[in-house]
Amino acid sequence: MARAAEECGFDSIWVGDHMLYRGDGRPERGPWDAWTLLAALAASTERVRLGPLVASTAFHPPGLIARMAATIDELSGRRFVLGLGAGWNETEFRSFGIPFDRLVSRFEESFEIIRRLLAGERVSFEGRFQRVDDAVLMPRPARPVPMMIGTSGPRMLEITLPHVGTWNAWYSWYGNTASGFAALGAGVESAVRRSACVLVAVDGGAGERPLEADAPPVAPDDLAGHLRDLAEAGADEAILVLDPITEESIRTVASVLSV
């Protein structure tokens, strides 16, 4: 699928960082590990940007996240974007023994360590949840790895916007409409790039994602106009969330858009 996306002319490929879904009336399921998969994609693609959408800082120690990000950026030839978030799916936290309390406070400490390490700093930090002592990335990152934040929370935005290059909004946060994205983006008081996830149902969709009445999917035939409207609403980038996620869907949408 990644090679098809690159061949068809898409600009980027994003991988969800989740371990387990269950309890929503559908069979339990989960994707492959995001970081391992991104390393493989870095070696098997040549042009597209790559990133997690978005990596939960709760799943790994912050120093390890910084090391993995710097490594994949190097393997990919400077094509990596580190998307970050606090996490939200309680099921996977509980199942894998990860604390689910004070998510934003935990994120804040991890985020400071990650961003400073990726900036090439030598970092000592002692907080309530995280501690590092004279940590440094070796080999040193060849560049400051670009970062993206995925959130609609005011406190998360306050923590991250001074330090990231891109803000991303999941489609259900803004109703999957251009007007909704414009309204949500009005609360982001920053000059960062604005990235919108867009749910696209190919051939009516396959039910891989539960239907949300307040965030209906876009049909491929309507997508070009939808993307133009999003651009007018302030979006610099659209990340297509396809249902189903298949090579055929990728090629179908590419043919409609003539990317």
What's the confidence (pLDDT) of residue 213? Answer: 92
Mean pLDDT, residues 2-30 taken together? 94
Mean pLDDT, residues 60-70 taken together? 98
What's the confidence (pLDDT) of residue 117? Answer: 98
Residue 69: CB partners within 8 Å, gap ≥ 6?
Answer: 80, 82, 114, 118, 145
What's the confidence (pLDDT) of residue 167? Answer: 98
What's the confidence (pLDDT) of residue 210? Answer: 78
**Stated pTM of the model:** 0.96
What's the confidence (pLDDT) of residue 259? Answer: 61
Q: Is the pLDDT of residue 189 over 80?
A: yes
Tell me what percent of the residues of the chain surpass a pLDDT of 90. 94
What's the confidence (pLDDT) of residue 67? Answer: 98
| Mean per-residue pLDDT of the chain | 96
Q: Is the pLDDT of residue 55 over 90?
A: yes
Q: Is the pLDDT of residue 233 over 80?
A: yes
Name beta bridge partners: 168. 150, 195
What's the confidence (pLDDT) of residue 258? Answer: 83
Tell me what percent of the residues of the chain surpass a pLDDT of 70. 100
Q: Are strands 82-85 and 55-56 parallel, antiparallel or unpaired?
A: parallel
Neighbours of 19 (CB within 10 A): 17
Q: pLDDT per residue over 107-151, tens digit each? A: 999 999 999 999 999 999 999 999 999 999 999 999 999 999 999
Q: Is the pLDDT of residue 27 over 90?
A: no
**23 confidence band (pLDDT: 50, 70, 90):** confident
